[in-house]
Amino acid sequence: MMKENGNLEPTNTRVWGSEKTDLSRRSFHRVMMGAGLAVGLGTSSARAATGAGRIKIGQIGTKHAHAGGQLAAVRSCADFEVVGVVEPDEAQRLKVKDYPDYAGLPWLTEEQLFNTPGLQAVAVETDVAGLLDAAEKVVKAGLHLHLDKPAGESLTQFQRILETATQHKKLVKMGYMFRYNPAFQLMIQAVCEGWLGRVFAIHAEMSKLLSDGERQGLVQYKGGSMFELGCHLIDSVVRVLGKPEAVMPHVRKTRSDNWPDNMLAVLEYKEATVSLRSSMVEVDGGFRRQFVVCGEYGTVEIRPLEPAGMILTLDRPRGPYKKGRQEVKFEKAPRYLADWVDFAKAIRGEVKWEFTAEHDMIVQETVLRAAGLVG
């Protein structure tokens, strides 16, 4: 919970035992979605299927690395009607306007977007430096917000955004891309339902090899690879274990530009330790990305993260899974789509939004600490 002075109370709300939770039941539903077993869930209601009652949404910015993918997903989700895109940089607008993700959409000014009758939500997909300023305009306008990651470098401004959204009773959806990944959803189910017992360790890695051009676009962000990539892992760690008691960043720089491209963070909990690695200099680093959760009764190894692969090791049969080490296979799930389906349901009040302001604030504080930006 937030104290009056704006700091976060220590919390350990994600240390799971064997008791089932509502989260585990919802996670199981998402596993089914991700595995392709809930055909047609791109449309969450008959109203959306007929076009009635669709949620009007616009997008601000096109410079974020996930901008096109997020827009393509929301356009494929029949719950939403995309009313237009704002891109004040004319050169950028000319660059992307003919891309398939943007084809046929109106190009609007911010004023035109915010004055659109019936507008309910806005997705913010600017470059990282512009995310928080754009997001603050959205929540001040009393609209639901999708905000891509990481949530800027100002923890104070991000907290203000969350508080404003809460005051207006609006939802904030962060762009962390493993929340609805089917392997991560099965991992959450295993934790919540006690299949692993008490978690004592998490080891996760998320790396890649940047081109010189990609690197040049990121050197302005002092948090380096942990800020840019490691944030995805931290979101999932907080889902499992909550807020860490301590965060110890280890920052290394391999090039003359002095940018942190080789990073390790150790997160400490009462009964668990977490090691997170993220680099931008690993050849074919995407293939070796992994998220491993170790508990007293079993282990979940997710590798690679996309397309999702898993080795599940159990000390006894759990759910549909046998004792011992086994491979779990998933059908390929479209990135982002399940996020938008659930967000639409939450906006309509059909489900409770799992990712609270408290969760998002803990994640961002931990991201900044792991990146060495906050002591």
The CATH number for 170's domain is: 3.40.50.720
The per-residue pLDDT for range 144-176, each reduced to its tens digit, is 999 999 999 999 999 999 999 999 999 999 999
Domain annotation covers residue 65: yes
Question: Which phi and psi (to 5°) does residue 371 adopt?
Answer: -85, -5
What pLDDT does 333 receive? Answer: 84
For residue 230, pLDDT over 50 is answered with: yes
For residue 2, pLDDT over 80 is answered with: no
CA-CA-CA-CA torsion sign (221, 153, 280, 211): negative
What pLDDT does 375 receive? Answer: 78
Q: Are residues 325 and 234 in the same domain?
A: yes
The beta strands (E) that lie in the chain are given as: 55-60, 80-86, 107-108, 119-124, 144-147, 172-174, 199-205, 246-252, 262-268, 273-279, 290-295, 298-302, 309-314, 324-329
In sequence order, the 6+-apart residues with CB closer than 8 A to the CB of 356 are: none
Region 239-258 average pLDDT: 97
C-alpha 265/C-alpha 353 separation (Å) is 29
Q: Are residues 142 and 49 in the same domain?
A: yes
Q: Are residues 96 and 237 in the same domain?
A: no
What pLDDT does 23 receive? Answer: 47
Only one residue has tokens 């860490």, namely 244
Q: Are residues 139 and 223 in the same domain?
A: no
Domain annotation covers residue 257: yes
Q: Are residues 169 and 261 in the same domain?
A: no
The answer to which of 47-61, 222-236, 322-336 has the lowest mean pLDDT is 47-61
- Rounded percentage of the chain residues whose pLDDT exceeds 70: 86
In sequence order, the 6+-apart residues with CB closer than 8 A to the CB of 172 are: 139, 144, 145, 146, 147, 161, 162, 165, 355, 357, 360
The per-residue pLDDT for range 330-356, each reduced to its tens digit, is 998 889 999 999 999 999 999 999 999
What pLDDT does 165 receive? Answer: 98
For residue 368, pLDDT over 50 is answered with: yes
C-alpha 73/C-alpha 77 separation (Å) is 6
Alpha carbon of 261 to those of 65, 106, 138, 298, 353: distances in Å? 18, 38, 32, 33, 34
Residue-wise over 142-159: b if at least 16 C-beta within 10 A, else e? ebbbbbbbbbbbebebbb
Work out the mean pLDDT of the chain and round it to a whole number: 89
Region 185-201 average pLDDT: 98
C-alpha 314/C-alpha 326 separation (Å) is 9
Q: Are residues 270 and 186 in the same domain?
A: yes
Region 50-54 average pLDDT: 68
Token reading at 92: 């950028």
What pLDDT does 11 receive? Answer: 37
Domain annotation covers residue 13: no
Number of folded domains in the chain? 2
Q: Decide which of 269 and 49 is more confident.
A: 269
The per-residue pLDDT for range 251-276, each reduced to its tens digit, is 999 999 999 999 999 999 999 999 99
For residue 298, pLDDT over 80 is answered with: yes
What pLDDT does 76 receive? Answer: 96
What pLDDT does 332 receive? Answer: 87
- Rounded percentage of the chain residues whose pLDDT exceeds 90: 84
Domain annotation covers residue 259: yes
What pLDDT does 52 receive? Answer: 56
Q: What is the phi-psi region of residue 207: left when phi exceeds 0, alpha when psi lies from -120 to 50, beta otherwise?
A: beta
Domain annotation covers residue 306: yes
Q: Are residues 195 and 128 in the same domain?
A: no
What pLDDT does 24 receive? Answer: 45
Domain annotation covers residue 15: no
What pLDDT does 102 receive? Answer: 97
Domain annotation covers residue 370: no
Token reading at 206: 């998320």
The per-residue pLDDT for range 302-337, each reduced to its tens digit, is 999 999 999 999 999 999 999 999 999 999 888 999
Q: Are residues 188 and 149 in the same domain?
A: no
Q: Are residues 79 and 118 in the same domain?
A: yes
For residue 77, pLDDT over 80 is answered with: yes
The CATH number that applies at residue 197 is: 3.30.360.10
Answer with the one of 129, 151, 174 that is the final residue of a domain. 174
Answer with the one of 142, 174, 206 that is the final residue of a domain. 174
What pLDDT does 53 receive? Answer: 87
- Shortest CA distance to 59 belongs to which of 106, 118, 25? 106
Q: Are residues 200 and 322 in the same domain?
A: yes
| Structural domain boundaries enclosing 303 | 182-334
Q: Are residues 230 and 278 in the same domain?
A: yes
C-alpha 259/C-alpha 371 separation (Å) is 12
Q: Are residues 92 and 190 in the same domain?
A: no
Q: Is the whole-model pTM more than 0.85?
A: yes
Answer with the one of 174, 206, 239 that is the final residue of a domain. 174
C-alpha 59/C-alpha 194 separation (Å) is 40
Residue-wise over 50-83: b if at least 16 C-beta within 10 A, else e? eeeebbbbbbbbbbbbbbbbbbbbbbebbbbbbb
Domain annotation covers residue 35: no
